[in-house]
Structure 1
Amino acid sequence: MRKSKFTETQIVSMIKEAESGIPVPEICHKQGIGQSKFYKCTWQ
C-alpha cells in the first residue's frame, strides 16, 4: 500500500476544516490538491 504524502495531522486538520463549514474546493486550493485527492486522502 502506498504511503500518503500528507501526515496524519494534516489530514485531520483538513477534515476539521471541512466539518467547520469551509468549502472543500477552498481547502483543496489551499493545500494544492484536487478534490478527488482530498476525498481519497481523507477516506483511507
Structure 2
Amino acid sequence: MGTKQLKELKGLQKENDRLRRAVSDLTLDKLILSEAAREND
C-alpha cells in the first residue's frame, strides 16, 4: 500500500468516525424526543 493510499485510508477512517458520532447523536436525540412525546400523551 502506497503513502497516498494510506493517507486516503486515514482520511476515510476519520470521516467514518465523524459520521458515526453524528448518527449516534441523532439517534440519542430521536430517543429523547420519542420519550418526551410518550410522556405528553
Q: TM-score, normalised by structure 1?
A: 0.34
Which structure would you say has the larger Rg? 2
Greater share of helix residues, 1 or 2?
A: 2
- The structure with higher relative contact order (CA 8 Å, sep 6+) is 1
